[in-house]
């Protein structure tokens, strides 16, 4: 069975919205290596994240600069977009997830292939966590309190028990934390 790993930039106070407004001062080679190591043959993205990626990465690849190799890797990956509306795709290897999210992702996990990666797409990550379909949660916790914006976890009746499986501290003060769903006790 394929695994799904979600990666997020997150502030110390739990904000995941608009990391472009606060993330870049903390980006360094350590973080770049951590992000690059999370590559996968399939990307599962919400529509807003897809629009953001499709608006940037193809041009970065075409320009041939420092990040062109990573941009090509993203372009070559299969991109499955979660959206309730029909979309016209401009980035190669992109397709719309069809049907119910939980049923479609369950089927996707059972297909042959490698790892499935996610970035951004908070509402999708929340739903997959709740359904027990997310295998790993990679958090790059930035030493900043943003104080406004969408948080990773919203209010709910049930807690989400997680197990820390890896931690690393970068020289910028960013904590790289990898969690898996905790096994029932």
Contact at 8 Å (CB) between 141 and 174? yes
What CATH number is given to the structural domain containing 163?
Answer: 3.40.430.10
| Arithmetic mean of pLDDT over the chain | 93
Q: What string of DSSP letters covers 116-172?
A: EEEES-HHHHHHHHHTT---EEEEEEES----SS-BSS---SS---EEEEEEEE-TT
CA distance 80 to 92: 11
Host domain of residue 25: 4-181
Please give the angle made by the CA atoms of 38, 12 and 3, to the nearest 5 degrees. Answer: 25
Domains contained in the chain, number? 1
pTM for the model: 0.92
pLDDT digits (tens, 9 = 90+) for 125-139: 999 999 999 999 999
pLDDT digits (tens, 9 = 90+) for 88-106: 899 999 999 999 999 999 9
């Amino acid at each position: 069975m394929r695994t799904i790993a979600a990666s997020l930039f997150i502030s110390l106070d739990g904000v995941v919205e608009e990391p472009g407004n606060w993330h870049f001062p903390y980006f360094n080679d350590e973080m770049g290596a951590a992000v690059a190591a999370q590559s996968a043959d399939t990307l599962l993205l919400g529509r807003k994240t897809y629009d953001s990626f499709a608006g940037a990465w193809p041009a970065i690849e075409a320009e041939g600069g420092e990040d062109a190799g990573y941009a090509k890797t993203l372009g070559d990956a299969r991109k499955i977009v979660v959206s309730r509306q029909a979309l016209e795709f401009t980035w190669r290897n992109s397709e719309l997830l069809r049907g119910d999210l939980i049923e479609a992702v369950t089927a996707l996990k059972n297909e042959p292939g490698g790892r499935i990666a996610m970035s951004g797409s908070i509402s999708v990550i929340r739903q997959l966590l709740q359904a027990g379909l997310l295998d790993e949660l990679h958090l790059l916790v930035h030493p900043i309190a943003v104080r406004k914006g969408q948080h990773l976890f919203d209010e709910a009746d049930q807690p989400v028990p997680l197990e820390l499986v890896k931690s690393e501290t970068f020289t910028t003060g960013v904590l790289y934390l990898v969690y898996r769903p905790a096994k029932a006790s």
